[in-house]
Chain A
């Protein structure tokens, strides 16, 4: 201090007088409030640590889990794409192995036709599917059907490779997809229409004796003799028959009749006759006659209905 000694003396006297004044102290409530605030500040500063860390860890875990799930979902989508795309490749033309009868060649024109008339085709498919059970039993006893064992097996492999093309799942298009590869094989052989193929596939899986495909006129004869002929000879005849079938099957109605006829081959006698009658009603007289001839060869003991009796000489 730079006060003079006199000033300092006077100041000290005043300070002494001041200090004799009541010594006011803060009230107890004020003390408590100050200490409470000081204590609370320490709790606040230390509190957010672990909750913050916990929240951060939980958020990161959630984010990682979601990202992982999204990645798995994307992988599943990617894996399904090849399967979804499979039908066309599976239906792509595939030369029939030697000794096997190829699928019918009519399939290439199927999509637009089937799309335009899905209801009718589905009806045909449904009837074909419904007759599979009794048909299988018949197939075991039909020697002509033995010739198509290889074809059925090949169709079975196609179906397994393209599950999305399952005939039962989408009757018209899926069934139609099966024969697609056969179209490009038309130069080589014909094969059973999709409905017959689906039936044949089931038969191939369940009973070695195959269901005979709907062969043209020459083919039934070949099929009839197939029981005593070598498998190669039977296949050759079947291939030739299918070639003719492929040509006729370019027409949309002709295609349905082929499938119907093929379905009739695998159907019970009555169902076959019904199919023949349908062909007749729809104006496919020639096909009805051919199918009827085959029916007669396959079921000579079955009495024909009146409307069909006159078709054959």
Chain B
């Protein structure tokens, strides 16, 4: 993908795209395509659905280009869109459930048999264990960890993306850390 001048911030590129500069969008997309895709993919845990939601995230970015304000960090704004879409997805799967209940149910789902961590693991399998451990996390904890690991966001930013308070974001990250350690140590 073509790149723009490295000194152009995400916010400048987004504003340039809003003015009609397609190259600015191409640069912006190249910067965020990978981390965003992995964030959506590992949160949703379904590749086909992740592809669909990932495209929808960028569609919403394009549609909202005129409303974008540089006061909001572009990456935070982008991740918030992704977060909301994924929450909507989870709620659609269980429409009667509230957000917390949805996350608890999802957290209790068993991983597929072939992905169970009790099998003898190679290095590949070890990496796979991490993936499985992530998948076993409740969605909100998984999201918090992925925002930290994939996007390198701080607790404040994680709270902003998830739409929760700072303490809630910290708690989620702590719980995710504890469960991952426990899963990998077992």
Contact = CB atoms under 8 A, between A and B. Distances in A.
Given A3-B173, A38-B29, 16 more contacts: A1-B154, A1-B170, A10-B177, A11-B148, A11-B177, A14-B149, A18-B149, A19-B149, A20-B127, A25-B33, A25-B34, A27-B51, A34-B58, A35-B29, A38-B17, A39-B22
A228 interface: no
A76 interface: no
Interface in B1-35: 1, 17, 20, 22, 25-26, 29, 33-34
A38 B20 contact: no
A15 B134 CA distance: 11
A38 B55 CA distance: 11
Nearest to B57: A34
Interface residues of A, number: 31
Interface in A42-94: 42, 45-46
Contact of B130 (A18, A27, A45): A18
B155 interface: yes
A17 interface: yes
B103 interface: no
B91 interface: no
Interface string A85-105: 000000000000000000000
B26 A35 contact: yes
Contacts of A33: 55
A7 interface: yes
Given A10-B181, A42-B22, A37 B174 contact: no
A26 interface: yes
Nearest to A41: B62
B37 A3 contact: no
B49 interface: no
A7 to B, nearest CB: 6
Contacts of B29: 31, 34-35, 38
A33 B154 CA distance: 31
A45 B21 CA distance: 12
Interface in B38-81: 38, 41, 51, 54-55, 58-59, 62-63, 65
A38 B180 CA distance: 38
A211 to B, nearest CB: 89
A24 B45 CA distance: 12
Contact of B180 (A1, A2, A14): A14
Interface of A: 1-3, 7, 10-11, 14-15, 17-27, 30-31, 33-35, 37-39, 41-42, 45-46
Contacts of B160: none
Nearest to A40: B62
Nearest to B129: A17
A34 B155 CA distance: 30
A24 B55 contact: no
B22 A15 contact: no
With a 10 A CB-CB cut-off, give which of B55, B145, B173 has the most chain A CB atoms.
Answer: B55
Contacts of B150: 18
A3 B25 CA distance: 36
A42 to B, nearest CB: 5
A26 B30 CA distance: 11
Contacts of B54: 26, 30
Nearest to A21: B127
Q: Across chains A and B, which 7 residue pairs bring their CB atoms closest together, nearest first?
A: A26-B37, A15-B149, A34-B58, A18-B149, A41-B62, A38-B25, A38-B62
